[in-house]
Amino acid sequence: MSGIKALLVGLSFIMSVYQTSAQGPPEPWSLAKEIFHREFEFLKSYVVRDNLSSIYDIQTFTNSLLIRAIQEKEFGLIDSLSAILLNAVNNLREVSWYPAHTWRTQDSVPLGRSYRMWLFPRNITIDGEAVPVRDEYHLSSSQFLFLVSQVLFAGLDAPQGQYHYIDSLIKVFPGLMLEHHYRRWIVETQTFQLSGWGCIKGKYNPREFLELKRTRRFVLKPTICPIVTDTDLFIIAGLSLVLAAHDAAPERVPVSREDRELYAQYLREAEVLLQERVQLRTIHTANGTLAGFAFDNGLYRDYKDHRFADYDEMTFPAGNLKVKPSKDATWDVSHARRFYFIFNALEWAAPTAGLTLDYRSFMRGLAHQYFHVIYADSVRHLFANYINGDNGWYRVNYHGEGFGFPPYSMSQAALEGGWFFLGEYYPPIAELGNRIWYVFNVDPEVYNRYYGVVYRNFQPVNRRFSASPSGSERFVLLQWLPSLW
C-alpha cells in the first residue's frame, strides 16, 4: 500500500473508530485528542526505547498537541504528556567519563564528577570488527529538553496539587536540565564538534561554537560551517524557557544568581547571532509588500543535501547532470518545522528571561513567508521544498543511489510542525489550513495524487507509513490537526 493511500485508509479507520460525524469533516482538535489518548501507552513505551530517535521523535509527534492544550488550558492533556516525558528519565545513565568515540576508536574523557545523560548505542569498527559503544546525541537530547521546557513553563499555571505528573515534572526536570545538561554543555565541558563538513577540528562548548559562527573563524571554509543549527536553536529556546520559569516561580525552579547571570550572558550572545542571521526580507504580493522571513540564506549552497535545490524538473537528476545549487540556498521545509515552536518559545520567554529581539516580528515574517512563498500551488495545495521558495530536489542519493525528494515532496512537512498556528499572525493561514482539511475529507484522492512522492532506485514511489511510528498516518495527523481551528 502506498504511503499516501495508507494515510487515507488510516484516516478513514480513525474516523470510524471515533464515530465521527457523517455530516462533514471531523472536528480537528477533537480528533487529535482521540488519537493522542489512543496512542498514549505506545508513546510511554516509545520514549524509553534504547534508540536515539525515541526522545527526538517525541517532540516532533506531540509539540502541536502541547501548544493547543496550552491555548485551551487543558491541563489534563498536559498532565498526560508529562507522564510520557517523565518516563524518559528511566533511560538516563550516570557517568563520570564522557564517551569520545570516533568511527574507528574507542575513547572517553574524565568529566570530573558524575552527570546523568542519555547515551544511545551504535557500532564502531575496530580492526574490521563491529564494537558496540554508547554516545550522547546533542540533537536528540536538546530537542527532547526543549519540549520539556515548554511543559515546565506552561505547567506552572496548573493548580498545584491537582495534576500529579505536572507537579512531578516540575520537581524532577529543572536540575536535570540545568545542572546535568545546559550547564554541562555551555560551561563545564567541550563535547560539541562539526564532524563531516570539513569545517574545523576539535571540540567546543555551545558558547564557543556561537562565537565561531558569528565571527566565521573556521580553518576550512565551506559556506555551511557557520549556520545556526537546529541543536543551537533548541538549546537557546529551551534554556530561555527554563529561566522564564525560574523568574515566574523561583521556589519551584531554582537557579543560583551566579548561574542565572552565566545563562543570561550566553543568551545575549545567542541573540546577537540570531539578529544577524534572521532577515525580514520584502515579499511582493498582488496587494503590496510584506515582510518575509529569511534565515541563513545562501549559507547552504555547498551543503550536500541541497546541491540540487535549483533543479526543479520531476525527472531524477542523472549522474551526468551538473550540480545545481541555489545561490540563496536555505532551510528545507521539513527541518523548518521547528521554527514556529522555537520562536514561539522565545516570544513566551522574552518578557522575563531578558531577551531583547522582537520575536513577534519574526513570527509575522514567517507567517507571510509560509503563505506567499512556501505555499506554491493553490490548485493542488502543494508547498515548495525550501523556505525561500526554491522547489528543487532535496537529499539526492541520501539513502543510496537513485534516492531523492523531488519538487513539492516536502508538502506533507508543510502540514505538520505547527505551521497553521501562524494564523494568529496572518489570518489567511488559518483559512488555508481549514480549506486543505476540508478538501482532503471531501476528495481524499487529492492527497493520493499529489503528496508524498519520493524516488528510490531512480523511480517515483509513495512513502510507506506503516513501517515506523514516525511515518505512520496517526502521527501525521497528530502533528497537523491541533493547529486547525
186 in the same domain as 38? no
- Domain residue limits at 114: 55-277
The amino acid present at 177, given as its one-letter code, is M
For 439, the grid coordinates are 478538501
Are 311 and 450 in a shared domain? yes
pTM of the model: 0.93
Mean pLDDT of 140-160: 98
484 against 1, higher pLDDT: 484
Phi-psi region at 85: left, alpha or beta (left = phi > 0; alpha = psi -120 to 50): alpha
Q: Which of 252, 277, 302 is the last residue of a domain?
A: 277
Do 257 and 214 lie in one domain? The reply is yes
Number of domains comprising the chain: 2
Minimum mean pLDDT range among 102-106, 182-186, 238-242, 386-390: 102-106
> Are residue 370 and residue 316 in the same domain, yes or no?
yes
**What is the mean predicted confidence (pLDDT) over 215-219?**
77
* Shared domain check, 92 and 127: yes
Phi (first) and psi of residue 272, to 5 degrees: -60, -45
Instruction: Read off the amino acid at residue 438.
Output: Y
24 confidence band (pLDDT: 50, 70, 90): low
pLDDT score of 3 more than 50:
no
Neighbours of 184 (CB within 10 A): 20
| Residue that finishes a domain, picked among 277, 309, 344 | 277
Q: Are residues 129 and 270 in the same domain?
A: yes
Question: Pick from 97, 116, 118, 96: which is nearest to 108 by CA?
Answer: 97
Average pLDDT over residues 159-170: 98
3-state secondary structure of 480: helix
Mean pLDDT on 386-399? 96
What is the number of other CB atoms lying within 10 angstroms of the CB of residue 313?
13
Taking all residues of the chain, what is their mean pLDDT, rounded to a whole number?
Answer: 90
Residue predicted with more confidence, 257 or 471: 257
Question: Where residue 100 falls among pLDDT bands split at 50, 70, 90?
Answer: confident
Reference 194, options 225, 171, 164, 217; nearest CA is: 225
What is the share, in percent, of the chain residues with pLDDT greater than 90?
A: 75
Per-residue pLDDT at 466: 35
261, 277, 293 - which closes a domain: 277
In this structure, which amino acid lies at residue 165? Y
In angstroms, rounded to a whole number, what is the distance separating the alpha carbons of residues 175 and 150?
15
Give residue 470's pLDDT: 40
Is 60 exceeded by the pLDDT of residue 179?
yes
Mean pLDDT of 390-406: 95
Q: Are residues 245 and 291 in the same domain?
A: no
pLDDT band at 345 (very low <50, low <70, confident <90, very high): very high
In terms of domains, do 63 and 130 share one? yes
User: Mind listing the pLDDT tens digit for each residue in 353-369?
Assistant: 999 999 999 999 999 99
In this predicted structure, what is the pLDDT of residue 467? 34
Q: Residue 21: is its pLDDT beyond 60?
A: no
**Does residue 471 contact residue 464 with C-beta atoms inside 8 Å?**
yes
pLDDT digits (tens, 9 = 90+) for 406-445: 999 999 999 998 999 999 999 999 999 999 999 888 876 6
Confidence of residue 15 (pLDDT cuts 50, 70, 90): very low
| Same domain as 244, residue 211 | yes
Judge contact between 149 and 237, C-beta under 8 A: yes
Q: Taking 80 as the threshold, does the pLDDT of residue 449 lie above it? A: no
Residue 11 pLDDT class (50, 70, 90 cuts) = low
Q: Are residues 143 and 110 in the same domain?
A: yes
Residues 286 and 343 both lie in one domain: yes
Distance CA 342, CA 402 (A): 34
pLDDT score of 366: 98
3-class DSSP assignment, residue 455:
strand
- 347 pLDDT above the threshold of 60: yes
- State the pLDDT at residue 468: 37
pLDDT in tens, 306-338: 999 999 999 999 877 888 899 999 999 999 999
Kindly tell me if the per-residue pLDDT of 465 is higher than 70. no
Judge if 242 and 126 occupy the same domain: yes
**Stretch 74-97: mean pLDDT, rounded?**
97
Closest CA to 194 of 160, 158, 220, 165: 220
